[in-house]
Amino acid sequence: MLLPTMSFTLVPLGGIALLLALKSFGINQEYERGVVFRLGRLQATKGPGWFWLIPLVERVVKVDLRTITYSLDTQETVTRDGVAVRVNAVLWYRAFDAAGVVTTVTNWESAIVQAAETALRDAIGQSDLDQMLKDRTTINKRLHELLTLTCIRWGVEFDAVEIKDLDIPPQMQRAIAREAEAIREKRARIIKAEGEQEAARKLNEAATIIGGAPGALELRRLQTLAEIGVEHNSTIIAMFPTELLEAFKKLPGATG
User: pLDDT by residue (tens digit) across 13-23?
Assistant: 556 656 666 66
pLDDT at 1: 44
Q: Is the pLDDT of residue 199 over 80?
A: yes
Per-residue pLDDT tens digits for 23-70 = 677 888 888 888 899 888 888 888 888 887 887 788 888 998 999 999
Q: Is the pLDDT of residue 237 over 70?
A: no
pLDDT at 15: 60
Q: What is the 3-state secondary structure (H, E, C) of the chain?
A: CHHHHHHHHHHHHHHHHHHHHHHCEEEECCCEEEEEEECCEEEEEECCEEEECCCCCEEEEEEECCCEEEECCCEEEECCCCCEEEEEEEEEEEECCHHHHHHHCCCHHHHHHHHHHHHHHHHHHCCCHHHHHHCHHHHHHHHHHHHHHHHHHHCEEEEEEEEEEEECCHHHHHHHHHHHHHHHHHHHHHHHHHHHHHHHHHHHHHHHHHHCCCCHHHHHHHHHHHHHHCCCCCCCCCCCCHHHHHHHHCCCCCCC
Give the model's confidence band at 90: pLDDT under 50 very low, under 70 low, under 90 confident, else very high. very high
Q: Kindly tell me the sign of the dihedral angle through the C-alpha atoms of 114, 142, 101, 105.
A: negative
Q: Is the pLDDT of residue 185 over 60?
A: yes
Q: Is the pLDDT of residue 92 over 90?
A: yes
- Over the chain, what is the mean pLDDT? 79
The rounded percent of the chain whose pLDDT value lies above 70 is 75
Give the model's confidence band at 85: pLDDT under 50 very low, under 70 low, under 90 confident, else very high. confident
Give the model's confidence band at 3: pLDDT under 50 very low, under 70 low, under 90 confident, else very high. very low
